[in-house]
Amino acid sequence: MGRRLVLQIKEISKQYDTGGFVQQALDHVSLNLRDSEFVAILGPSGSGKTTLLNIVGGLDRYDSGDLVINGTSTKQYKDRDWDSYRNHTIGFVFQSYNLIGHQTILSNVELALTISGVSRAQRREKAREALVKVGLGDHINKKPNQLSGGQMQRVAIARALVNDPDIVLADEPTGALDSDTSVQIMDLLRDVAKDRLVVMVTHNPELAREYATRVVSLRDGTIRDDTDPYEVDETAHAPAVHRNLGRASMSFATSLALSFNNLRTKKARTFLTSFAGSIGIIGIALIMSVSNGVNTYIANIQRDTMTAYPLTIDQQAWDLSKMIESGQRNAEDQAKTSNKRHAIYPDTSSIKRASGLTSSIATNNLTAFKRYLDNPKSEVRQYIGKAGVQYSYDARFSVFSHDPTGALVNADGVSVGDSGTSVANKIAGMNGAQTGDFSAMQSTQMATLTGKSQGNTSPEAFHEIMAGKGSETVSKVITDNYRVVHGTWAKNRNQVVLVLDGNNAIPLTTLYELGMLPASDYTAMMAEVNAGKAVDPKIGKIDYAKAMDQPLKLLPASHEYVKGDDGRFRYVGDDASEISKLMDDAVPLQIVGVIKPVDGAKATPLQAGVGYTAALTNYLIDQANDSPVVTAQKADEAHNILNGLTFNPADDAAKAADAKAYVASLGVSQKADMAKSQMAQADANQNGGAASQGATGQQGATTPGASTMEPGALAQQNAEQGAAGNGAAALGEMSEQQLAERYDAYIATAPQADLVGLYSKIVPTSSYQDNLSTFGVLSRDAPSSIKIYADSFEAKNGISDSIDHYNAKAAKDDKITYTDYVGLMMNSVTTIINVITYVLIAFVGVSLVVSSIMIGIITYISVLERTKEIGILRAMGASKRNVSQVFNAETGIIGLLAGILGVGITLILIVPGNAILHHAMGTDQVNAALPLSAGVILVVLSIVLTLIGGLIPSRKAAKQDPATALRTE
């Protein structure tokens, strides 16, 4: 025998202290064992046999003395050394077999090899050999409970031998067997003892004497008898060499397989455990699903709201919130002073209100602000939503077409060149407006100059279709909310679409303006309306295809000014024959599609009419800059190229000269109208002086005296020239030509004060910049309006804050004023949303805690249940780490199952859950749904939580004393 093992038990004592009662299990026991003998330890129950065996096998620790293995003291042994010692040197056989019930007998035998890290194939082979040796070659795939007691004990012996240990320790191996089977086992052990040390505990003296080569009797923890004592000659023995016993360790895969097998044999229990664990996960998953549904709903509402109400910053803006604030302040002031008595107090509320109104109106420097918005480094950029920032420009143009009768139609008022735009009418309108309405007066003056009103610079029915990001012609905001019912979207500057409202309607006026219905019908209809007659137009529907056939022609504003023989430019937009001449060079617009809002559209920024692309706006910007009228105006910045007047007359003389020049530029009928209007004024002055005071009031600021003089002066002139009797009567009989001549004569000799008065009354003043914008000159840097889209209220608030920061830094004139309508509407909503979110987060947190506690308890129970298995593993040399690893693997698997189960059950529960949700909320907009990422995260979370929950129990399992664990039944 090559084994030269000598085991020396030196003065070993061991006591057990249980609740104050000290039991001396071993009392200074000394015993030397030879390398191959069959030692039987005899003794009555409780004499310390098992304790001695466990100490020899490294399962239990001695209190004092020493266990010397091949001359090496084990006093300094660490856990690792003991583990390795058990694994490589010791094979255990127990009375109660201690097989792992959920493993096949082959796996049970393999276990010891598994722990020492032998490869799978080798493991199989060795385990099979060992089983064949004990006569169980035919049963390797049976489970322990399918074997008889003797067979199970033979499996245990095979397991003890498979690692080819130096020592086999058997604790009453035949204790539970009948005598026949006992004999078979004893034969087997005697065989085993041929080439190794076998120490067998028994209380059967006959068997001991028959089979063992040496019998040691134990009583009350001391050796009473030894049939073959062995004195070790310490000097003769070769010096102790610490043999490297090799590592005893188990791979994680083995731990997993072990746990997986265990769980597989207890399917129902595993399912219930996982289900219990999954309840927490289900709770979290359900709350997450609902929260996800609600959040999606809220986010959708927010985005829709922000799409419908982008932050809009206009060149001319008024701050509604500031107005409301000042209104509230006034009301508060009012309330404070309401108790005053015994005197008269002025009520200043209306003047404050008025001042609040005017002070909240501001002009925004959008050029500077656009520079800020376009700067990628600006704070505001992070908050801008998917729809981005939209800049609009005051593109100025006219659109013409021919109605079914062939008449030229202007999209900005149906007929071209009707009497409504004549200068005389404007003047009449001006007189009619002499009730102190200053703004009406100004716009009338402007209209006189251009034939168009200031506010209406492109046909009202025409709207630019918001462009998308990058090269997208149409923004997602539009395509999300509108659908094409015929044709396609407009893709370039020559293409437009007809925009219908939700009822497929377009205002009747717009249809006339686009020439789709005869203009004469419109004129007739309007005449009836003006005459006070009830009008109920019955007009049939128009086919999509027919409407799309209507050709439209666009003239940029700059092209509507034509240079006359006198070198001056003239507006010809209301001159049908001039327009007809220009039509050849006009930009053709083709209606390529018909669109309408989708059902339930969230935002409908396009009004019914015609939608054109931003490409057209860009084209118009280029066109204006290159046009002759703009070139001419740019060449002379001091004078208005339309009438030759000076932009900023320096003194009264210059004004008088301009007044003369202006009158000279008027036509005969216009001059006659001027004359008539003045005579009418003169009459009014004579017949009711008080009434005429109002007429002069609005011009009185500069030259009050002069203006009252003027009508009288003309009347006087009439008298001087010998017109018969009453001046007004004489005028009524005069021809236009005569009136015009009379007016010229008056102007020629009129005093400067009269002319200055006339200047301020009828001569349209404008500036160089005004003229350029009238001609449609635009700068891409100077939008007329900016819309900023956000995707959520939070982002919107971020934008508002960024603008506040911008304003704090900006120069006084660059500060931005705007009304945050959504902010005004939604303040309380945002608070509610935040509360909901926090409540949901709290729910999730509570579920998480409950879930982890539950999982911890379950793992703990599992540890208690598997105590025996822990003992077996430890006896076979598994380290503490291996044991906790096995339990971690098990909790991991349970966590995985619990997670998958939880997510699965949640997915099923969501179906009826949504039905309930829809019913309860009265809307199907809120849809509980578990996002895939959340599902994966929850499964991982379940694993992590279970692992954490099982950490304490698994550490407890690892710490368990293997000897105690094995004693547990």
Nearer to ligand ADP, 51 or 458 (CB): 51
Residue 23 interacting with ligand ADP (CB under 6 A): yes
Question: Is the Cβ–Cβ distance between 278 and 904 less than 8 Å?
Answer: no
Q: Which does 51 bind (CB under 5 to 8 A by kind): ligand ADP, Mg ion, none?
A: ligand ADP
Residue range at the interface with ligand ADP (CB under 6 A); choices 17-25, 190-198, 688-696, 725-733:
17-25
Closest separation in Å from C-beta 205 to ligand ADP: 14
445 binds, among ligand ADP, Mg ion, none (CB under 5 to 8 A by kind): none
Cα separations in angstroms, 885 against 85, 100, 362, 813, 940: 20, 17, 73, 72, 18
Is residue 399 within 8 A of residue 391, CB to CB? The reply is: no
Buried b or exposed e, range 418-445, using 16+ CB within 10 angstroms:
eeebbbbbbbbebeebbeeeeeebeebb
H-helix or E-strand containing 610? Answer: strand 609-612
| Residues 652, 646: Cα–Cα separation, whole Å | 12
Pick from 96, 509, 716, 964: which binds ligand ADP (CB under 6 A)? 964
Among 18, 119, 338, 419, binds ligand ADP (CB under 6 A): 18
Residue 520 and residue 643 in contact, taking contact as beta carbons nearer than 8 Å: no
CB 852, CB 952: distance < 8 Å: no
Residue 925 contact partner, candidates ligand ADP, Mg ion, none, CB within 5 to 8 A by sort of partner: none
Residue 139 CB, shortest distance to Mg ion, in Å, is: 28
C-beta of 224: minimal distance to Mg ion in Å? 17
Which CB contacts under 8 angstroms, 24+ apart, belong to 824-829? Answer: 824/320, 824/321, 824/324, 825/309, 826/305, 826/793, 829/793
Choose the one of Mg ion, ligand ADP, none that binds residue 727, judging by a C-beta under 5 to 8 angstroms depending on kind: none
Amino acid letter for position 161: L
Which of Mg ion, ligand ADP, none binds 47 (CB below 5-8 Å, type-dependent)? ligand ADP
Distance of closest approach, residue 964 Cβ to ligand ADP, in angstroms = 5
Q: Single out the segment in contact with ligand ADP by CB under 6 A; choices: 39-47, 271-279, 760-768, 905-913.
A: 39-47
Q: Is the C-alpha dihedral spanning 668, 671, 677, 683 positive or negative?
A: negative
Per-residue contact flags (x/-) with ligand ADP for residues 141 to 170, judged by CB under 6 A: ------------------------------
Closest distance between Mg ion and the C-beta of residue 948, in Å?
Answer: 39
Q: Which residue number, 47 or 410, has a Cβ lying nearer to Mg ion?
A: 47
* Residue 945 binding result from ligand ADP, Mg ion, none, given CB thresholds of 5 to 8 Å by partner type: none
Interacting residues with ligand ADP between 41 and 70 (CB under 6 A): 43, 45-51
Q: Tell the smallest beta-carbon distance from residue 4 to ligand ADP (Å).
A: 30
Q: Which is nearer to ligand ADP, 45 or 828 (CB)?
A: 45
Cβ proximity to ligand ADP: between 45 and 76 the closer is 45
Spatial distance between the Cα atoms of 407 and 405, rounded to a whole number of angstroms: 6
Nearer to Mg ion, 580 or 968 (CB): 968
* C-beta closer to Mg ion: residue 171 or 314: 171
Shortest Cβ 888–Mg ion spacing (Å): 33
Torsion of CA 113, 115, 118, 121, to 10 degrees: 60
**Residue 50 or 942 with smaller CB distance to ligand ADP:** 50
Q: List, in sequence order, every residue forming a beta bridge with 72; answer none if it has no partner.
A: 69
Query: How far apart are CB 882 and ligand ADP at their closest, in Å?
Result: 23
Q: Between 18 and 350, whose beta carbon lies closer to Mg ion?
A: 18
| Residue-wise burial string across 536-550, b where 16 or more C-beta atoms lie within 10 A, e elsewhere | eeeeeeeebeebbeb
The enclosing H or E element of 214 equals strand 214-219
Shortest spacing between CB 132 and ligand ADP, in angstroms: 32
Beta bridge partners of 69: 7, 72
Residue 964 touches which of ligand ADP, Mg ion, none (CB < 5 to 8 A by kind)? ligand ADP
H-helix or E-strand containing 170? strand 167-171
Of 23 and 316, the one with the shorter C-beta distance to ligand ADP is 23
Among the candidate windows 15-23, 129-137, 353-361, 883-891, which touches ligand ADP by CB under 6 A?
15-23
- Print burial letters for 367-405: b (CB count within 10 Å at least 16), e (below 16): ebbbebbeeeeeebeebbbebbbbbbbbbbbbbbbbbee
Strand partners of residue 398: 555
Nearer residue to Mg ion within complex by CB, 50 or 87? 50
Closest CA to 178 of 145, 208, 204, 144: 204
| Residue 23 interacting partner from ligand ADP, Mg ion, none (CB closer than 5 to 8 Å by kind) | ligand ADP
For the bound state, the minimum distance from the C-beta of residue 25 to ligand ADP, rounded and expressed in Å, comes to 4
Task: Give 18 or 933: the residue with its C-beta nearer to ligand ADP.
Answer: 18
Smallest distance, ligand ADP to C-beta of residue 65, A: 16
Q: Which span sits near ligand ADP by CB under 6 A: 18-26, 604-612, 734-742, 841-849? A: 18-26
Which residue in 899, 890, 942, 907 sits closest to 270, CA to CA? Answer: 890
16 vs 260, beta carbon nearer ligand ADP: 16
Which CB sits closer to ligand ADP, 49 or 154? 49
CB 242 within 8 A of CB 72: yes
Size of the site for ligand ADP (CB under 6 A): 13
**Considering beta carbons, is residue 19 or 239 the nearer one to ligand ADP?**
19
Taking CB under 6 A as the binding criterion, the range among 40-48, 589-597, 620-628, 788-796 that sits at the site for ligand ADP is: 40-48
Nearest distance, CB of residue 879 and Mg ion, angstroms = 26
CB under 5 to 8 A by kind: which of ligand ADP, Mg ion, none does 25 bind? ligand ADP
Residues paired with residue 22 on neighbouring β-strands, in sequence order: 17
Give the nearest distance from C-beta 50 to Mg ion in angstroms.
3
Q: Site map for ligand ADP, 637-676, x if CB under 6 A? A: ----------------------------------------
Residue 67, SS3 per DSSP: strand
Nearest to 592 by CA among 550, 628, 631: 550
**Is the sign of the CA dihedral 776, 778, 784, 787 positive or negative?**
positive
Number of neighbours of residue 824 by Cβ within 10 angstroms: 12
3-state DSSP call for residue 290?
A: helix
**Gap between the terminal Cα atoms of the chain:** 39
> What is the rounded distance in angstroms from the CA atom of residue 833 to the CA atom of residue 939?
28
Residue of the chain from 4, 11, 16, 936 that contacts ligand ADP (CB under 6 A):
16
Please name the residues in contact with 745: beta carbons below 8 A apart, sequence gap of 6 or more.
717
- Distance (Å, rounded) from C-alpha 238 to C-alpha 241? 8
Name the closest residue to Mg ion (Cβ): 50
Residues recorded for the chain = 969
The minimum distance between CB 49 and Mg ion, in angstroms, equals 5
Tell me whether residue 50 or residue 847 sits nearer to Mg ion (CB atom).
50
The minimum distance between CB 201 and Mg ion, in angstroms, equals 6
Q: What is the CA radius of gyration of the chain?
A: 53
For the bound state, the minimum distance from the C-beta of residue 90 to ligand ADP, rounded and expressed in Å, comes to 17
Q: Which residues bind Mg ion (CB under 5 A)?
A: 50
776 binds, among Mg ion, ligand ADP, none (CB under 5 to 8 A by kind): none
Q: In sequence order, which residues have a C-beta less than 8 Å from that of residue 427 and are 6 or more positions away? A: 448, 673, 674, 677, 762
Minimum CB separation of residue 48 from Mg ion in Å reads 8
Binding region for ligand ADP (CB under 6 A): 16, 18, 23, 25, 43, 45-51, 964
